[in-house]
Amino acid sequence: MILKILLVIGVIALVYFTLIKKKPSIDKSQKEKKSDKIGSEMIECSVCGIYFDLDDAFLSDAKYYCSKECAKKKN
């Protein structure tokens, strides 16, 4: 009798966790999409004013520039 109860609890727990595990995975994919948007943030070049992707930025004196040429021009 105890084994049957444990089996039922086990099955319920299994179904419960498989249902719960599916929901956070959806939330994670949504969070990853949001983090992707932050990762591809558009910033303005301090020299020529062109908007470009933060991933392609040249960092010089704590300022972002669109290219090495612009980073040199600021001097």
**Residues found near Zn ion in the complex (CB under 5 A):** 45, 47-48, 66, 70
| Rounded CA separation 75/59 (Å) | 14
Shortest separation between residue 63's beta carbon and Zn ion, angstroms? 11
Nearer to Zn ion by Cβ, of 34 and 73: the residue is: 73
Q: How far is the CB of 65 from Zn ion (least distance, A)?
A: 5
Strand partners, 53: 42
CB 67, min distance to Zn ion, A: 6
Q: For residue 2, what is the DSSP state?
A: H
Upper half-sphere CA count for residue 70 (Cβ side, 13 Å): 19
